[in-house]
Amino acid sequence: MSPVASRIAPLEPPYPPEVQSQFDRIMRGAPPLMLFRVMAGQPRAWEKSRAGSLLDPGPLSLRAREIVIDRTTALNGCEYEWGVHVTIFAGPARLTEDEVRATVLGDAKSSCWSPAEQALIAAVDALHHRATLDDAEFAALSAQYDDAQILEIMLLCGFYRTVSYLANGLRLPLEETAARFPTQ
């Protein structure tokens, strides 16, 4: 899915000063992502999406957070958001090429994951497919993560499912510099 334009037109520069300031803060000098430009064109949607951001230092490590986001967006077929996150965060999160590939083509039993990461991937998969965790899945997650981390995992899954709906439903063109889904 790599159409030329978004189904809803993105905000074009010059941006209103308040929006430019927000883009500068989020993007740290890089041009704003297409998703942000589309959302910023609708003030209510922009405020709501910015308020729901989970990219602040939360209870999860950067690595765990990115595994959740990458797996969630991959399960939703959202190459746009997956590619942005892999490009920006895979290095700082110390995700190897095999691990990045496994977020798309692997599963919780992939040999590249630690036991804690296997529980994490299994939880993301369960939430994606059934919108719940059975007792065994919750116990496996609880053995590795505390209550605040478990809530963060669930919030990330839900938030990035919504982001996937937006990027896929709008048919956002893939960012030129973002990673692409592996094919094998």
CATH number for 66: 1.20.1290.10
> What is the percent of the chain where pLDDT is above 90?
86
Of the pLDDT bands very low, low, confident and very high (cuts 50, 70, 90), residue 167 is very high
- Residue 2: is its pLDDT beyond 50? no
Mean pLDDT of 111-119: 98
pLDDT score for 4: 61
Q: Note whether residue 69 is domain-resident.
A: yes
* pLDDT value at residue 45: 86
Whether 33 and 72 map to the same domain: the answer is no
Domain match, 70 and 132 both: yes
Task: Look at residue 56 and tell me if it is in a domain.
Answer: no
Range of the domain at 126: 62-169
- Identify which of 33, 74, 30 has the alpha carbon closest to the alpha carbon of residue 173: 33
For the cut 50, the answer to whether the pLDDT of residue 183 exceeds it is: yes
Listed in sequence order, the DSSP H helices in the chain are 17-27, 34-40, 43-51, 62-75, 79-89, 97-105, 115-130, 135-142, 147-169
| Chain Cα centroid distance, residue 139 | 25
From the centroid of its chain, how far is CA 6? 19
The residue among 32, 51, 70 that closes a domain is 51
Number of domains in the chain: 2
Q: What is the mean pLDDT of residues 56-64?
A: 92
Q: Is the pLDDT of residue 52 over 80?
A: no
What is the average pLDDT across 153-174?
A: 96
Same domain, 39 and 129: no
Q: Are residues 30 and 99 in the same domain?
A: no
> How many angstroms separate the CA atoms of 162 and 6, rounded?
17
Is residue 35 scored above 60 in pLDDT? yes
Counting residues of the chain whose pLDDT is more than 70, the rounded percentage is 97
The answer on 137 and 81 residing in a single domain is yes
Q: Is residue 30 one of the residues assigned to a domain? A: yes
- CA distances from residue 68 to 65, 149, 177 in whole angstroms, order as listed: 5, 12, 22
Say yes or no: 101 and 142 in one domain: yes
Distances (CA, A) of 94 to 62, 157, 175: 9, 21, 22
